[in-house]
Chains A and B, each alone.
Chain A
Amino acid sequence: MNWFRDFLLPRGASTLVGETDGLFLFITLLTVFFFFFNGALILYAVKRWRRRSEKEVTPHITHDTRLELVWSLIPLVVVMLIFFWGFRGYVKAWVAPNESMEIIVTGKKWVWEFEYPDGTRTLNDLHVPVNQPVKLVLTAEDVIHSFYIPEFRLKRDAIPGRYTELWFTATKPGIYQVFCAEYCGKGHSDMLARIFVDTPEQYETFLREGDEQVRKMPLKELGRLVWENKGCATCHSLDGTRGQGPSWKGIWGHKQRGADGKEYQVDADYIRQSILAPQAVVVEGYQPIMPTYQGLLREREILGVIEFIKDLQ
């Protein structure tokens, strides 16, 4: 049975998994059973009663109340069972325990932003301690997004102008994929985030200094990581193709013409300003759509981006 479950479902890593997977497997078996049951009946009928002559006469059977009751009532009982089973799991996933840690999640085209109780903010990477109930309060800035963590069997829409909630207790340390499940335009399929389920010590360190990767990595690599993970990649290419924003290739040391008609030298200060106050200078021909990263990147990460761009000649 386990290989079957592992074939159909991603590994489970929250307290809700058991309940949901149990029901999932039950309905799967039901489906497989009825498919083969109906298939066998049809096959049997076709083999046994295949027409051999046009003169064949068939019995005139219009109905059979007893049989019909049986095949109405059995499905009825089975579906009611499924209803209650599914409802039980949903209720369990409904109300967050009081001791939950609360994190505010904002979806916007095409990044996920997380805000922790202590004010730390991160983009696309969410750190949570293992075995601790966590409540996510979801909202969106532009259109509807949906926060989906397959390994936790959880999903909830993030809706502009509203707050929705989702809670979980992660049971295994590790890294888990988050998808945006509600179609939201061009970058929908790149609107990915990761949940790092940390041991308590790892989590403390994270709150103080950012995650380990970030602390130790060479600057240039860190810059690439920021580009990949913090949403830069949805608008800025590395190979010179035009996106929602200017490509980063070969801009270092050159001049960019701003929408105001002035020329700006691309240097460390210019890049820093473009990250923290993107509307201050908008390159000619582009929309002022870039969000500010003020408070979202650590100092070291900004340095990393500068080094990374320097290298893209």
Chain B
Amino acid sequence: MSEGVLHAGAGHAVQHADYLEEPRGLWSWLTTVDHKRIGLMYMWSVLFFFLVGGIFALLIRLELLTPRQTVMDAETYNRVFTLHGAIMTFLVIIPAIPAALGNFALPLLIGARDVAFPRLNLASLYIYWTGAAMAVATLALGGVDTGWTFYTPYSTTTGGGVSLMVLAAFVLGFSSIFTGVNFIATIHKLRAPGMGWFEMPLFAWGMYATAIIQILATPVLGITLLLIVMERVLGVGIFDPQLGGDPVLFQHFFWFYSHPAVYIMILPAMAVISEVIPTFSKKTIFGYKAIAFSSVAIALLGFLVWAHHMFVAGMSLFAGAIFSFLTFFIAVPSAIKVFNWIATMWRGSIALEAPMLHAISFLLIFTIGGLTGLFLAALSTDVHLHDTYFVVAHFHYVMAGSNLIALLAGMHYWWPKMFGRMYNRRLAAIASAIIFVGFNLTFLPQFVLGSRGMPRRYFNYLPQFQDLHVVSTVGSWVLAAGLFLTAAYLLASFRQPKGMPANPWGGRTLEWETPSPPTTHNFEGQPVLQHGPYDYRPEPAPVGVKEMAH
């Protein structure tokens, strides 16, 4: 299927074993500096925490089946939703695509042998594990009941393991920063000869934009979290009015990071989708530059809108107007991308394989997620909807819906490359449909709950809201069933023989030019780019350098 556009010594060099086999042994994995192995270890870790966070999610939904106590008391409920939010945000969604898929795929996509700083890469994984262990250890200190947003002065006055959880998020921040630094250097320095900025796969642009946010915004969160610990442990008055502090200041600091962080979550998802749609439409991406620039635009604009989380927190009319105004500009590049992806499918040759089905789910879910952002960006409607289930639904559409479904798309896309094995494609198609239905069943009712006035983080609720809560809870079971099915057939794929060809999907980016799974050094010799990343013309027009560099 791959017409062999790139021959950089491939074929006639000595055949090495693939990166999964060589070197062998647990120790070789724990000390590896191979980006692919690090990516896989990140992936298994993220999936493990996704399971943990998911169990908490099911518990939350189960508790909300009835208006009053169902299976746990209020204090337990508060701890469960805090852990769910903290685990899903800091341990799952933020690292999911960049650290797992990005680490695996980015160097392959740009024709590099590894990331620019392989040891830093391994360090980031160990830091992630450390932070994760700290987060889990808070359970031993009685849990945390602040919500993942740690709003002061509640967080500086409540009991439990808040300081440890906050330090965990602080530590995890470094793993995110290290990944960001690494990707920026890798993209600048290690692109294959002939690969100009605009011959890079869009995945790389997405990772680049994400990395900018990771290294610019994360330090602010780090400092803010340290200030909380200083207040809790040393009694320095920063946020608690009892000590002369200002609680609203915390919200500014927190959202200065956490708003851009929502783009740390969505840009990588968009990056995956930009790879999957051209491959399965067998057609060049529509509006390459528009997609690339809108990623960067989103990354930069994302720094100017944080206070849209605080329209009812007593800021001035003027500030409210500015932040609302700027927020709307984010919607435009988001819309542009969606239209570009649809235009890519137009007149394509569309293969409905599992990655593409997930990509289509993504398009539909992200459309809802993005458009419901408009209700929240507009001042008058946000006053009604802020801190209700509407916001919960909105951010699940963009985070759980869009990000995690893009993660699934990416995993199904690169699975044969990662392991050289194929999963059961029929089951995969069925599972993607179940996930789509389950997801919408879970979260669509929450928009209505919110607009009807149901506040978020409620243990008890008024009986008038029960019907919609029941639908949502049933939806969560459907969603879970789809995800367990996915886990089952993915694991079952390991019983298949390793027999995948280099390019099972007919993709045009460089990772498909090397065997599945690749050897430790990715390519035999230095690959040289001979056509654009999405060039599906029968005889691709050459770009860049043609001769073999070695």
Using CB atoms and an 8 Å cutoff, list the residues of chain A in contact with chain B.
7-10, 16, 19-20, 23-24, 27, 30-31, 34-35, 38-39, 41-42, 45-46, 49-51, 54, 56-64, 67-68, 71-72, 75-76, 79-80, 82-83, 85-94, 142-144, 146, 148, 150-151, 153-157, 159-162, 164, 177, 179-190
Binds A, one of B34-42, B221-229, B265-273, B285-293: B285-293
- Cβ-defined contact, A58 with B367, below 8 A: no
22 contacts between A and B (CB under 8 A): A24-B375, A45-B348, A57-B537, A57-B538, A60-B537, A61-B343, A62-B284, A62-B288, A68-B287, A72-B332, A75-B331, A79-B331, A79-B332, A82-B328, A82-B378, A86-B382, A87-B325, A93-B380, A157-B314, A160-B241, A182-B151, A189-B74
Q: Distance (Å) between the CB of B445 and the closest chain A CB?
A: 12
Q: Which of chain A's residues have a CB closer than 8 A to the CB of B384?
A: 20, 24, 150, 153-155
- Cβ-defined contact, A20 with B381, below 8 A: yes
Q: Which of chain B's residues have a CB closer than 8 A to the CB of A83?
A: 324-325, 328, 377-378
Q: Which of chain B's residues have a CB closer than 8 A to the CB of A34?
A: 367, 371
- Cβ-defined contact, A46 with B151, below 8 A: no
Most buried by B among A30, A75, A153, A189: A189
Q: Which of chain B's residues have a CB closer than 8 A to the CB of A58?
A: 281-284, 347-349, 536
Q: Which of chain A's residues have a CB closer than 8 A to the CB of B75?
A: 186
Contact A9-B451, Cβ < 8 Å, known A27-B371, A49-B349, A189-B460: yes
Q: Is B1 an interface residue (CB 8 A)?
A: yes
Please report the C-alpha to C-alpha distance between residue A155 and residue B154 in the assembled complex, in whole angstroms.
20
- Cβ-defined contact, A71 with B336, below 8 A: yes
* Contact among B248, B325, B335, B364 for A39, CB-based, below 8 A: B364
Please report the C-alpha to C-alpha distance between residue A185 and residue B146 in the assembled complex, in whole angstroms.
8
- Cβ-defined contact, A180 with B455, below 8 A: yes
Q: Is B211 an interface residue (CB 8 A)?
A: no
Q: Distance (Å) between the CB of B126 and the closest chain A CB?
A: 34
Q: Which of chain A's residues have a CB closer than 8 A to the CB of B375?
A: 24, 27
Q: Is B368 an interface residue (CB 8 A)?
A: yes
Complex: chain A residue closest to B146, CB-CB: A183
Q: Is B411 an interface residue (CB 8 A)?
A: no
Q: Which of chain B's residues have a CB closer than 8 A to the CB of A92?
A: 380
* Contact among A45, A80, A86 for B381, CB-based, below 8 A: A86
Q: Is B448 an interface residue (CB 8 A)?
A: yes
Please report the C-alpha to C-alpha distance between residue A20 and residue B158 in the assembled complex, in whole angstroms.
36
- Cβ-defined contact, B380 with A88, below 8 A: yes
Q: Which of chain A's residues have a CB closer than 8 A to the CB of B371?
A: 27, 30-31, 34-35
Q: Which of chain B's residues have a CB closer than 8 A to the CB of A59?
A: 283, 347
Q: Distance (Å) between the CB of B153 and the closest chain A CB?
A: 5
User: Which chain B residues (66-92) contact chain A, with CB distance < 8 Å?
Assistant: 74-75, 78
Q: Which of chain A's residues have a CB closer than 8 A to the CB of B350?
A: 45-46, 49-51
Contact A177-B378, Cβ < 8 Å, known A60-B284, A60-B536, A63-B286: no
Contact A91-B460, Cβ < 8 Å, known A153-B384, A181-B455: no
Total A-B pairs, Cβ < 8 A: 274
Query: Hey, what's the 0/1 contact readout for B328-371 against A, CB within 8 Å counting as 1?
Result: 11011001101110110111111110000000100110011001
Q: Distance (Å) between the CB of A223 and the closest chain B CB?
A: 22
Q: Is B312 an interface residue (CB 8 A)?
A: yes
Q: Which of chain B's residues have a CB closer than 8 A to the CB of A68?
A: 287, 290, 336, 339-340
Please report the C-alpha to C-alpha distance between residue A148 and residue B550 in the assembled complex, in whole angstroms.
67
* Contact among A27, A63, A76, A179 for B332, CB-based, below 8 A: A76
Please report the C-alpha to C-alpha distance between residue A23 and residue B12 in the assembled complex, in whole angstroms.
66
Q: Which of chain B's residues have a CB closer than 8 A to the CB of A188?
A: 78, 457-459
User: Which chain B residues (356-406) contact chain A, with CB distance < 8 Å?
Assistant: 360, 363-364, 367-368, 371-372, 374-375, 377-384, 386-388
Q: Distance (Å) between the CB of A111 and the closest chain B CB?
A: 15
- Cβ-defined contact, A38 with B342, below 8 A: yes
Q: Is B461 an interface residue (CB 8 A)?
A: yes
Q: Distance (Å) between the CB of A182 and the closest chain B CB?
A: 6
Contact A72-B317, Cβ < 8 Å, known A179-B455, A180-B455, A188-B458: no
Q: Which of chain A's residues have a CB closer than 8 A to the CB of B320?
A: 90
Q: Distance (Å) between the CB of A211 and the closest chain B CB?
A: 21
Complex: chain B residue closest to A17, CB-CB: B384
Query: Hey, what's the 0/1 contact readout for B144-188 against A, CB within 8 Å counting as 1?
Result: 010100010110011000000000000000000000000000000
Q: Is B54 an interface residue (CB 8 A)?
A: no
* Contact among A24, A87, A88, A189 for B458, CB-based, below 8 A: A189
Using CB atoms and an 8 Å cutoff, list the residues of chain B in contact with chain A.
1, 74-75, 78, 145, 147, 151, 153-154, 157-158, 241-242, 246-248, 281-290, 311-314, 317, 320-321, 324-325, 328-329, 331-332, 335-336, 338-340, 342-343, 345-352, 360, 363-364, 367-368, 371-372, 374-375, 377-384, 386-388, 448, 451-453, 455-462, 506, 535-538
Complex: chain B residue closest to A80, CB-CB: B328
Those 6 A-B pairs whose CB atoms lie nearest each other, nearest first: A89-B380, A150-B453, A86-B378, A161-B241, A90-B379, A189-B458
Having A35-B364, A46-B352, one finds 5 other A-B pairs with CB under 8 Å, namely A27-B378, A42-B360, A61-B343, A93-B380, A188-B458
Please report the C-alpha to C-alpha distance between residue A185 and residue B73 in the assembled complex, in whole angstroms.
12
- Cβ-defined contact, B314 with A184, below 8 A: no
Most buried by B among A9, A23, A60, A142: A60
- Cβ-defined contact, A179 with B154, below 8 A: no
Q: Distance (Å) between the CB of B61 and the closest chain A CB?
A: 16
- Cβ-defined contact, B380 with A86, below 8 A: yes
- Cβ-defined contact, A160 with B247, below 8 A: yes
Please report the C-alpha to C-alpha distance between residue A41 and residue B363 in the assembled complex, in whole angstroms.
11
- Cβ-defined contact, A164 with B157, below 8 A: no
Q: Which of chain B's residues have a CB closer than 8 A to the CB of A72?
A: 332, 335-336
Q: Distance (Å) between the CB of B401 and the closest chain A CB?
A: 13
Contact A38-B338, Cβ < 8 Å, known A8-B448, A68-B287, A79-B331: yes
* Contact among B317, B346, B351 for A94, CB-based, below 8 A: B317
Complex: chain B residue closest to A148, CB-CB: B455
- Cβ-defined contact, A142 with B317, below 8 A: no
- Cβ-defined contact, A181 with B386, below 8 A: yes
Contact A42-B363, Cβ < 8 Å, known A31-B368, A49-B349: yes
Q: Which of chain A's residues have a CB closer than 8 A to the CB of B448?
A: 7-8
Most buried by B among A23, A39, A144, A164: A144
Q: Distance (Å) between the CB of B519 and the closest chain A CB?
A: 27
Please report the C-alpha to C-alpha distance between residue A62 and residue B457 in the assembled complex, in whole angstroms.
47
- Cβ-defined contact, B383 with A63, below 8 A: no
Q: Distance (Å) between the CB of B220 and the closest chain A CB?
A: 21
- Cβ-defined contact, A54 with B342, below 8 A: no
Please report the C-alpha to C-alpha distance between residue A7 and residue B371 in the assembled complex, in whole angstroms.
20
Please report the C-alpha to C-alpha distance between residue A92 and residue B383 in the assembled complex, in whole angstroms.
12
Complex: chain A residue closest to B386, CB-CB: A155
- Cβ-defined contact, A20 with B157, below 8 A: no
* Contact among B1, B158, B311, B352 for A50, CB-based, below 8 A: B352
Q: Distance (Å) between the CB of B328 and the closest chain A CB?
A: 4
- Cβ-defined contact, B346 with A45, below 8 A: yes
Q: Which of chain B's residues have a CB closer than 8 A to the CB of A50?
A: 350-352
Q: Which of chain B's residues have a CB closer than 8 A to the CB of A39?
A: 364, 367
Q: Which of chain A's residues have a CB closer than 8 A to the CB of B321?
A: 87, 90
Please report the C-alpha to C-alpha distance between residue A152 and residue B287 in the assembled complex, in whole angstroms.
45
- Cβ-defined contact, A189 with B461, below 8 A: yes
- Cβ-defined contact, A8 with B451, below 8 A: yes
Complex: chain A residue closest to B81, CB-CB: A183
- Cβ-defined contact, A51 with B364, below 8 A: no
Q: Distance (Å) between the CB of B290 and the closest chain A CB?
A: 6
Contact A75-B335, Cβ < 8 Å, known A87-B321, A88-B380, A186-B74: yes
Q: Distance (Å) between the CB of A21 and the closest chain B CB?
A: 9
* Contact among B339, B380, B387, B457 for A20, CB-based, below 8 A: B380
Please report the C-alpha to C-alpha distance between residue A60 and residue B347 in the assembled complex, in whole angstroms.
10
